[in-house]
Structure 1
Amino acid sequence: MNDGTERLWGGRFKSAPAAELTALSRSEASFFRLAPYDLAGSRAHARELSRAGILNAGEVQQLLAEMERVQAEFLGGTLAPSMHDEDVHTFLERVLTQRLGAVGAKLRAGRSRNDQAANDLRLFLRDKARKLALDVIALQDALVAQAETHVRSISTGFTHLQPAQPVVFAHQLLAHAQSIYRDVDRLKDWDRRSARSPLGAAALAGSAICVNPALSAAELGYDAPCENSIDAVASRDHVAEFLFITSMLAVNLSRLSEEVILWTSRQFRWVELDDGYATGSSIMPQKKNPDIAELTRGKAGRLIGNLSGLLATLKSLPLAYNRDLAEDKTAAFDSIDTLGLVLPAMAGMIRTMRVNVDELRRQAPLGFTLATEVADWLALKGIPFSEAHEITGALVRACEEQQIELGEVSLATLAQIDPRLDAGVLERVQLETAVAARSGFGGTAPLRVEEQIARLKTALGTQRAWAREYGGPTC
């Protein structure tokens, strides 16, 4: 069969593919971004073909030099796939064959689009994991910088979105930083499991020509080849796990966004956003909207959907390769592209926001947030906590009736509630005293928070080094 179109298959077919099949089968335009990674795999494969005796030294050099030119042209925008190129593999083989003739055509020996496709996306994700980590760390740097400024800025801590206990605002910011830190740690852990090369698996049974996959794996920055050739081309759990990490990151960003939205509201008045990171209303001139936070919150659902969609695709797929697996790229590209927009915007918003310290402090004791201090004070005096809890509850009720806060209660009222409530309790219900008392590891005492910041900065340095010290192909 020869209909004038370059394809990697067709010899056993009598007629050309139907137009509908061609339209459905052609890769999405975004998939061609894998070209540099496909070329990286092809360079390693060319050296493997040299070891197998299929390419001589001169042919290998021809191929390597031409692949460098092709990559430069592709990245420079002077070379692009045609409408007849079914996928990135067809595109690059066509170009190399047109330019090098039989030498370019030899490159297909010993491999399949199955192991090529698996390798391309794995290389892409390992590279983008590092870039994603650096974007996350930039957000972390913004959170840490704000935290360093507000180690002694006292604010309300919430449970059930109700005033609970006073904390320093840095502690609240660092709670978000800690959860996001674990997302980069998950990327590092994911990378350890994903550092296995599928090259050499060919279609599914392994290659009779490329029998030294460990050498290709090392060249591409992998730790080793995949243990099982069927698993190498059939599995996409590394993609699903990557999408889980991006989804979890998006959820953590969404929770931070929700708090920013609350903090910037007129009701809270804790934070004011920089004009460059807020929007207005087309009808209400007074509005200043936290659109970055809202857009980030909304996109979390999109990334969760990418994970759910791929898991649904993978469910019940028989081994080995099935064309359904092309859906892995749609989900991965969208999640990476989305976070590539969200993370820099979030970092800028956090870095430039202004915190209203006076308002934080004014609100900190409201809603009887210091009540636990009374109960703890009684417990430290030897009163069973269940009894201390009841006494404190009675004190709160008396304050509510008098419409005063705990720090305003009179000695007479204290004595009336319980004779063991004396002037010492009034010292305990001071904001600085309350936060300083939470001095255990991980607590909100300023000294502990300063130590937490120091540890986090060291840990972020380790993550930054991991992201920058990658030995595989990048683009």
Structure 2
Amino acid sequence: MSKLWGGRFQKSTHSLMDDFHSSISFDCRIYRQDIAGSMAHAAMLAQSGIITPQESEQIINGLKEILEDIESGRVQFSTSAEDIHMNVELLLTQKIGAVAKKLHTARSRNDQVALDVRLYLREEIDHICQLLKQLCRQLLDLAENHLDTVMPGYTHLQRAQPVTLAHHLLAYVQMFRRDLDRLADCRRRVNVLPLGAGALAGTTFPIQPELVARQLGFGALAENSLDAVSDRDFAVEFTAAAALIMVHLSRFCEEIVLWSSGEFAFVELDDAFSTGSSMMPQKKNPDAAELIRGKAGRVFGDLQALLVMLKGLPLAYNKDMQEDKEALFDAVDTVKKCLLVFTPMVGSLRFRKENMARAARGGFTNATDLADYLVGKGVPFREAHEMVGKTVLYCLQQGKALEELVLEEMRQFCPPVEQDVYQALDIANCVARRVTLNGPAPSAVRAAIERARRALE
């Protein structure tokens, strides 16, 4: 088959080159965006007096028929036509004849592909944001049910201070809200129209790109034709945001893996999101969480691939940039798939509140509260810290918890203590007194849930 760009060539491309050069195997997914962009371009060409209204109508109707043919499965894309843009143009020529050849007036594949990818990514960002909001709402619902579920908070994976499960869940809500903010900010830079830049230097035709922008919902026009066709910052930026989403999912999944182990026993996994062993009949494995944790690496790799692809490219377009799509598509697919599994998996978890409370009472998680109590009695904090450290050492030697010491024992190390110290050491009180804006007290967490729900709206 002769190439649409083959006028100056005397030889056909090698069959190996055809296969190596072709991107239709993966860029076929942006057929809707390519057709939408071409319809808007055809309409603008007519409005600008570059083609007739009748030609524009014929082209647009032909493109609509091609869209219907593709979506009904009647189209088999051609590798020799290289990419989705050439495939659509070839199909249009077959359908409406010579007038189809006017569609590419004042346009290059360079600005066309930039347009298609931006249209595609804009839609996917909106979809991912909806999935993130669904996840946040799921976590907020869980948090409301666990305002009083006490658990240990950890630093260095060592029990540190008591918190609540609700407070712990809200930490992830904050992460995912930042992800939403990043995607919204990224979308603003995605939503820039590159069409009109041509191959790299614009066009001599009197085009009106603002008409295309209005029809396709773009918020701004690209201001430099060289940058318009060579910019893939938006793809890198999205993939970086996607990588952070995967970091947050992976961290949560790591905790689910830990919490579902016999050593923690904080949570029971639902059978629907677990698997068994082919050899060990007793096993219930957290495979969904482990797979999400593992898939984070894919998106990190996609980000690295995009950065390396771009880092040495001179202006303007280079064929290396064809490599942007597989990495971008993979990042989109992976994040969406993980969110679709993660949200119902989290919603199905059964938390073992008794085990969490028991763990919160162990490991001297109320030691800081004893130090704070002493400060309230007039002891400088650094001295109070030392007193409590010696008390903890004594408890370890005696096999006791702080609250199990009688006053006489405690006064060996902390002379100012009174009977009210036991209220200060009570785990529920330790949590309830932390009423700062970002603290774990049920009253503070309830207010935080309300703020988060309003923000998601």
Instruction: Give the C-alpha shift of residue 210 in structure 1.
Output: 5.0
Instruction: Give the C-alpha shift of residue 28 in structure 1.
Output: 4.7
- In the alignment, the residues of structure 2 paired with residue 85 and residue 303 of structure 1 have an alpha-carbon distance, to the nearest angstrom, of 30
Instruction: Name the structure 2 match of 1:317.
Output: 313
Instruction: Name the structure 1 match of 2:95.
Output: 99
Structure 1 counterpart of 2:156, which letter? H
TM-score (norm 2): 0.98
- In the alignment, the residues of structure 1 paired with residue 382 and residue 437 of structure 2 have an alpha-carbon distance, to the nearest angstrom, of 25
CA contact (8 A) 2:106 2:207 kept: no
Q: Are positions 1:64 and 2:27 aligned together?
A: no
Instruction: Give the C-alpha shift of residue 401 in structure 1.
Output: 1.1
Instruction: Give the C-alpha shift of residue 316 in structure 1.
Output: 1.5
Instruction: Name the structure 2 match of 1:356.
Output: 352
Which of the numbers 74, 79, 86 marks the counterpart of 1:90?
Answer: 86
Instruction: Name the structure 2 match of 1:110.
Output: 106
Q: Are positions 1:30 and 2:39 aligned together?
A: no
Cα deviation, 1:70-123, whole Å, max 9, x if unaligned, reads: 112212222231232210011000011111111111101110000001111011
Structure 1 counterpart of 2:42, which letter? A
Structure 1 counterpart of 2:272, which letter? G
SS in 1 for 2:277: coil
CA contact (8 A) 1:414 1:422 kept: no
- In the alignment, the residues of structure 1 paired with residue 210 and residue 440 of structure 2 have an alpha-carbon distance, to the nearest angstrom, of 51
Q: Are positions 1:373 and 2:369 aligned together?
A: yes
Instruction: Give the C-alpha shift of residue 6 in structure 1.
Output: 4.3
CA contact (8 A) 1:112 1:203 kept: yes
The number of aligned residues is: 457
Instruction: Give the C-alpha shift of residue 48 in structure 1.
Output: 1.7
Instruction: Name the structure 1 match of 2:410.
Output: 414
Q: Are positions 1:166 and 2:162 aligned together?
A: yes
List alignment gaps of at least 5 residues for structure 2.
none
Cα deviation, 1:193-231, whole Å, max 9, x if unaligned, reads: 221100000101112225211111111110121011110
Structure 1 counterpart of 2:117, which letter? L
- In the alignment, the residues of structure 2 paired with residue 75 and residue 456 of structure 1 have an alpha-carbon distance, to the nearest angstrom, of 40
Which of the numbers 26, 43, 46 marks the counterpart of 2:39?
Answer: 43
Q: Are positions 1:271 and 2:263 aligned together?
A: no
- In the alignment, the residues of structure 2 paired with residue 263 and residue 456 of structure 1 have an alpha-carbon distance, to the nearest angstrom, of 25
- In the alignment, the residues of structure 2 paired with residue 28 and residue 52 of structure 1 have an alpha-carbon distance, to the nearest angstrom, of 32
SS in 1 for 2:44: helix
Instruction: Name the structure 1 match of 2:202.
Output: 206
TM-score (norm 1): 0.94
- In the alignment, the residues of structure 2 paired with residue 72 and residue 339 of structure 1 have an alpha-carbon distance, to the nearest angstrom, of 29
Instruction: Give the C-alpha shift of residue 335 in structure 1.
Output: 0.8
- In the alignment, the residues of structure 1 paired with residue 400 and residue 449 of structure 2 have an alpha-carbon distance, to the nearest angstrom, of 36
- In the alignment, the residues of structure 2 paired with residue 385 and residue 77 of structure 1 have an alpha-carbon distance, to the nearest angstrom, of 73
Instruction: Name the structure 2 match of 1:258.
Output: 254
Cα deviation, 1:373-400, whole Å, max 9, x if unaligned, reads: 0001111222110000001111111111
- In the alignment, the residues of structure 1 paired with residue 258 and residue 190 of structure 2 have an alpha-carbon distance, to the nearest angstrom, of 39
- In the alignment, the residues of structure 2 paired with residue 205 and residue 227 of structure 1 have an alpha-carbon distance, to the nearest angstrom, of 12
1:161-310 equivalence runs, <5 A: 161-209=157-205, 211-310=207-306
- In the alignment, the residues of structure 1 paired with residue 101 and residue 328 of structure 2 have an alpha-carbon distance, to the nearest angstrom, of 31
- In the alignment, the residues of structure 2 paired with residue 54 and residue 433 of structure 1 have an alpha-carbon distance, to the nearest angstrom, of 76
- In the alignment, the residues of structure 2 paired with residue 446 and residue 365 of structure 1 have an alpha-carbon distance, to the nearest angstrom, of 18
Q: Are positions 1:426 and 2:426 aligned together?
A: no
CA contact (8 A) 1:115 1:198 kept: yes
Instruction: Give the C-alpha shift of residue 59 in structure 1.
Output: 1.8
- In the alignment, the residues of structure 1 paired with residue 348 and residue 87 of structure 2 have an alpha-carbon distance, to the nearest angstrom, of 45
Which of the numbers 398, 403, 412 marks the counterpart of 1:402?
Answer: 398
- In the alignment, the residues of structure 1 paired with residue 429 and residue 206 of structure 2 have an alpha-carbon distance, to the nearest angstrom, of 70
Structure 1 counterpart of 2:27, which letter? F
Q: Are positions 1:126 and 2:126 aligned together?
A: no
Structure 1 counterpart of 2:146, which letter? H
- In the alignment, the residues of structure 2 paired with residue 77 and residue 342 of structure 1 have an alpha-carbon distance, to the nearest angstrom, of 28
CA contact (8 A) 1:115 1:200 kept: yes
Larger mean CA deviation between 18-27 and 229-238 belongs to: 18-27
Structure 2 counterpart of 1:394, which letter? K
Cα deviation, 1:129-181, whole Å, max 9, x if unaligned, reads: 01111112222222111111101100000000000000011111111111011
Which of the numbers 142, 145, 152 marks the counterpart of 2:141?
Answer: 145
List alignment gaps of at least 5 residues for structure 1.
462-475
Larger mean CA deviation between 277-286 and 22-31 belongs to: 22-31
CA contact (8 A) 2:19 2:79 kept: no
CA contact (8 A) 2:24 2:78 kept: no
Structure 2 counterpart of 1:439, which letter? V
- In the alignment, the residues of structure 1 paired with residue 10 and residue 2 of structure 2 have an alpha-carbon distance, to the nearest angstrom, of 16
CA contact (8 A) 1:81 1:91 kept: yes
CA contact (8 A) 1:7 1:86 kept: no
- In the alignment, the residues of structure 1 paired with residue 116 and residue 368 of structure 2 have an alpha-carbon distance, to the nearest angstrom, of 57
Instruction: Give the C-alpha shift of residue 53 in structure 1.
Output: 2.2
SS in 2 for 1:164: strand
Query: Quick one: higher RCO (CA 8 Å, sep 6+), 1 or 2?
Result: 1
Instruction: Name the structure 1 match of 2:441.
Output: 445
Instruction: Give the C-alpha shift of residue 13 in structure 1.
Output: 0.8
CA contact (8 A) 1:197 1:217 kept: yes
SS in 1 for 2:361: coil
CA distance 1:408–1:118, change in 2 (3 Å): same
SS in 2 for 1:364: helix
* Identity rate, percent: 43
SS in 1 for 2:161: strand
CA contact (8 A) 1:370 1:434 kept: yes
SS in 2 for 1:316: coil
Instruction: Name the structure 2 match of 1:53.
Output: 49
Structure 2 counterpart of 1:203, which letter? A
Instruction: Give the C-alpha shift of residue 421 in structure 1.
Output: 2.0
State the superposition RMSD in angstroms.
1.1
